[in-house]
Structures are given as structure tokens and as C-alpha cells.
Amino acid sequence: MSHLKRATTAIVSVYALSFLLTACGGGGGGTSDAAGSAAPPTRTADTVDPAVTAQGPAGAVTTPGTTPSASLPGDDTVGPGGSGNPRDPAGAFGSGRPATTRCHTSELTASVGRVDPGAGQENFPVVLTNTSSRTCTVRGYPGAAFTTADGRQLGPDPRRQPGTTVRTVTLAPGRSAWAGLRFANPEISEARTAVPAVLLVTPPDEREPLEVPWKGGKVPVGGNESVVWLSALSPGTAP
């Protein structure tokens, strides 16, 4: 029995020594870091660096802590008042000023004022009056033509008077604007003449004319100094 006991003890000692040697080898026979520190971790595709810019909504590139800007829809459209902003069509930005639009033929009446002769010229104010219930505007030169009672035009169309100021005239209900109609006195110029029955007056940017009975006598329709001039509209009824 003593021999068997010694043999068993020896076998156990051998196994114990083998286990201790294996444990000291670091497992699998590898070697440890001489400084005892672990190797740096490997960066994976899922690692997020907070300093890297992020992809914001709709592809907008942003940095951390910022909000991507967005364009306001329709800001570059033009609204009814022409301000370019449909949310403020009058262009007043909360001032309460209503948008005004041009006067139409149906909202106006036309008349011809008293002649103002001078320096061999005949000068007549052609007046447009706002007869509507709203405020509207006129700008530039009216159209004009002398005609017979049956609508036949006499002479060429008047020309625009050079050097006159073009302005936008705001007409409240009942207010007027005037344009000067001027031509050389036919008695002096010896131009060919005719006596019109009607002066047709067309407001700026309109196509329908207004008929005004002509009471100013002879007008030049051809020959020497037969040009009829018309100035741009100004506020009021006469110079």
C-alpha cells in the first residue's frame, strides 16, 4: 500500500505542476506586453466622433450645436402688390397701407379745359377725373386723337412732349390729373386745318378711349407746323 500511495502522490504532483506552467504562459502559448498595458482599441465603423460634421435634414451640412437654415417658400414670388412677398402684397409690412392699382377707363371721365394761348401756341389741359369709389393711379401719357362725328381720324396722332416729367399720380375719388395738349396756332403756321367733332382720350395703359366733344375750333392736320404735342399727366386740372 505504501508503494501505491507514493505513486499516486507523484502523479498528482506532476499534473499540478503542468497546470501551473500552463497558467503562467498567458494561455495558448502567447506572450504578454512587457509594460503590462493593453493594446489600443480598434476604431469601428460605428464609432462616432462628436467633432465631425453631421448630415442635417434635406442634405444640409451642419456642425454640432447648430440648426440648418431653410428657405421660406414663395418669398421670391411676386404678389399682387408687386412687393415680391405674397405674405405682404402691399409691400407695407404691417403699416396698413392698401395697395393701389391703375385707373381703368370705366372709372374715369375726360374733359378739355379752357385754351391758354401764348407765343403763337394753343394750349389745352386734357383732364382725367376719378369717378369711382376707390383710389387708383395714372402714370405717363394718355392717348389722344381728333375725329369727325362718324369716327374718322383727322391728322396724325399727337406726339409726346419731350422734357416732361413722368410721375405716378394717385387719384382719390373725385380727384383729377391733367396733360397739356399743344399745337401751333394755325392762323400763324398756315397749316392745313380741320374742325374735329370729338377728341378721343385714352388713359395710360388702357385700350378703351373716352369721347370728349371738341370745342376748341380748328386744329392743324397737315402741312407746316402741324405736329400736336401731348405732355405727361400731372396732379390737378390745369397748370
Mean pLDDT (the chain) is: 72
- Determine if the pTM surpasses 0.85: no
pLDDT in the model for residue 146: 98
Residue 97 pLDDT greater than 60, yes or no: no
Residue 201 contacts residue 144 (beta carbons within 8 Å): yes
User: Does CATH place domain 105-235 in 2.60.40?
Assistant: yes
Q: How confident is the model at residue 103 (pLDDT cuts 50, 70, 90)?
A: very high
Share of the chain above pLDDT 70, in %: 58
The pLDDT of residue 24 is above 70? no
* Closest by CA position to 235, among listed 158, 139, 161, 134: 139
Q: How confident is the model at residue 239 (pLDDT cuts 50, 70, 90)?
A: confident
Q: Residue 96 has what pLDDT? A: 52
Query: Can you give the pLDDT at residue 137?
Result: 98
